[in-house]
Amino acid sequence: MKVVKQIGQFKKTEGITILQDERWNLIFSESLKKAEKHGLSSEFITNYLRAVHDESIDNQEGIMNS
């Protein structure tokens, strides 16, 4: 999560919102396509990406509120 903390600090300094829906949707759909090409189920990759994304948001919120 070191990178997440660096991103959170950058967003705080630059006044960027934590969640950028358009970017998340693009990353999610592209990752889903790649995962399926490698034989991973859409359910698995969806759960994985959401878990990582939720943890990232929680970490960034902590930075924004400090």
Residue ranges of domains in the chain: 2-64
Contact, 64 vs 8, CB < 8 A? yes
Q: Residue 4 has what pLDDT?
A: 87
Give the confidence band of 21 by pLDDT, cuts at 50, 70, 90. Answer: very high
d(CA 45, CA 31): 8
Q: Which amino acid is at 2?
A: K
For residues 17-41, give the mean pLDDT.
94
Q: Is 39 helix (H, G, I), strand (E, B) or coil?
A: coil
Q: Residue 57 has what pLDDT?
A: 93
pTM of the model: 0.81
Give the confidence band of 1 by pLDDT, cuts at 50, 70, 90. Answer: confident
